[in-house]
Chains A and B, each alone.
Chain A
């Protein structure tokens, strides 16, 4: 339905997006994963016809949208990273305006406003000014505004940044409902791995402007199929012990998180004896040892050498 072909954007000496090719099939939910500065927002700006690419193409149903963006604009709903609303107006007034932009009027406009307000759970507070809403409620109106014209494709640029867990869950549930129940095609960008794991069928991983991996969640995790993750929790942080453990033969990658140590090791490696031996030598108390199957976070770590939220 929607595809990009070798999309590139260069700002003076910086290449923000480099040769990115994505495909979104109708009804699919696709994640675009990457740390801050990976080029996700720039890619989205080009896909949504907001920014012209330096080279490459964006196609909707096989037709390029770069010269004639109208078709794309009619079917596309974009939820920006910023709260792009008029805060001195109410949610109802904001939605009325965004509906009018797409030619809605009269009863149809009113019905659509009611529907999207119900969808985001703000029907009973529609008359309140947006500036008086919590961050989570503002995010929900941000989504509702993109839904006013019944878009076929919904692009979301980190829509859950800075909101409380309750609003985040509500938002994720809404998106899941739109995708599964209404068949809406979704492109979801985030640096929250668990959101992408929860929502998306397929994932593109971006770093430094390039797509470095793509596939279903299972396909990506298979990259680490011969490995496992060992999470060891201690009673406190032992920098020297952690360094020593990271150097044990077979450890491919290690991450320190406060008083925990995460090690990626080849599947079947026998290292527990060495672990407890070293812990005893340093007088450290092991509280918990957990052997996990790899997550997308681990995949990202393996591919880029850094964490998503670095």
Chain B
């Protein structure tokens, strides 16, 4: 096994371009695209409807800026429209007395988060106003109670089902990293097909090396090259680009390992089904891009509403990889919250691996 494993590194040394290209593409794509985004809240222009007084508008603004997820700035309608028209922001908010309208310039995943946030604030505020009509002074009571609570309750979700928080930088980093590493891993596994074509695989079979050692040498290399790529990218963006990856970096690395394992196994399964290198050259990009689109690498899975796509995404390792990474880095969750996605990744990988090796052996025997 050691000989086969070391051989792959020697071959990588001679032909490193593919791996370096995937690494470089991830870095370039994330750094260039994320440069337009921010990790902190983006300014959202707000303009009040003519029917509203300035005082009412200010009260709504204070209420909206109460959280730290968004930062709203009150301005004239023309100015807000100009921001949107020039593409400086994706959307602006038109405040009405009991409702709001969104002025959307371009599709942005953050729109859904903004809409959800506005709906919650408006609904709370309107309920409070209704309650004030029957119970005067309830607002003051509530505010004093909130300022000095009788008890503090901390809610932590085991499944990481917190309300949706969108972090564009991390979405991009995780999505692109998990997407490009699929290419690195799967194209490294194509070597098995190539070895069968050139006859070096047969040469190994008639040597004293066992077949499982041959597979392990190849899979070990593919795993390590994919895992190294993810880890190096996370390290680079954390320390060189200053991305906030949360306090549990080690957990992100553990997730990366489980994800890499599942992709190595999936790659082997694809190779066992499609045996011609030319066909693999077409199939791998289709699988990688398809998985990335449905699994939430290009946009958050939370934005997908189609039931079929959501059902398909449940069968894809990238969905669980992204879910686990986001849970740890964005929501600050711990091991318990990501235990299920990690188990699913390992289970998925084990099943793919077992089927793939059986299929390959069956093919070579027949």
Separation of A53 and B6 alpha carbons in the complex (Å): 33
| Residue from the list B198, B202, B208, B365 in contact with A101, Cβ < 8 A | B208
| Residue from the list B3, B10, B202, B209 in contact with A80, Cβ < 8 A | B202
> Do residues A88 and B14 form an inter-chain contact, with CB atoms below 8 A?
yes
Does A145 have its Cβ within 8 Å of any Cβ on chain B? yes
> Do residues B206 and A103 form an inter-chain contact, with CB atoms below 8 A?
no
Does A52 have its Cβ within 8 Å of any Cβ on chain B? yes
Does A201 have its Cβ within 8 Å of any Cβ on chain B? no
Separation of A100 and B209 alpha carbons in the complex (Å): 10
Does B204 have its Cβ within 8 Å of any Cβ on chain A? yes
Separation of A70 and B208 alpha carbons in the complex (Å): 6
Contacts of A103 in B (CB 8 A): 208
> Do residues B206 and A84 form an inter-chain contact, with CB atoms below 8 A?
no
Residue among B6, B202, B365 facing the most chain A CB atoms (10 A cut-off): B202
Once A70-B208, A89-B11, A97-B3 are accepted as A-B contacts, the answer to whether A52 and B198 lie under 8 Å apart by CB is no
| Residue from the list B11, B206, B208, B365 in contact with A78, Cβ < 8 A | B206
* Count: A-B pairs, CB below 8 Å: 60
- Interface bin, chain A: 20 to 34
Once A88-B11, A89-B14, A93-B10 are accepted as A-B contacts, the answer to whether A74 and B208 lie under 8 Å apart by CB is yes
A74-115 contacts to B, CB under 8 A, are: 74, 76, 78, 80, 82-89, 93, 97-98, 100-103
B167-215 contacts to A, CB under 8 A, are: 198-200, 202-209
Separation of A271 and B186 alpha carbons in the complex (Å): 71
Once A52-B365, A100-B3 are accepted as A-B contacts, the answer to whether A84 and B203 lie under 8 Å apart by CB is yes
Contacts of A52 in B (CB 8 A): 365
| Residue from the list B3, B15, B198, B206 in contact with A50, Cβ < 8 A | B206
Does B7 have its Cβ within 8 Å of any Cβ on chain A? yes
- The smallest C-beta distance from B217 to any residue of chain A, in angstroms, reads 10
Closest to A82 in B: B199
Separation of A243 and B232 alpha carbons in the complex (Å): 78
Separation of A52 and B200 alpha carbons in the complex (Å): 19
> Do residues B200 and A101 form an inter-chain contact, with CB atoms below 8 A?
no
Separation of A152 and B206 alpha carbons in the complex (Å): 14
A40-82 contacts to B, CB under 8 A, are: 48-50, 52, 70, 73-74, 76, 78, 80, 82
Nearest 3 A/B pairs, CB to CB? A84-B199, A100-B3, A82-B199
Question: 17 extra interchain contacts, Cβ-Cβ under 8 A, other than A80-B203, A93-B10, A101-B204?
Answer: A48-B206, A50-B206, A52-B365, A73-B208, A76-B206, A78-B206, A80-B199, A82-B198, A86-B7, A86-B11, A87-B198, A88-B14, A89-B11, A97-B7, A97-B10, A98-B207, A100-B6
Interface positions of A (Cβ within 8 A of B): 48-50, 52, 70, 73-74, 76, 78, 80, 82-89, 93, 97-98, 100-103, 129, 145
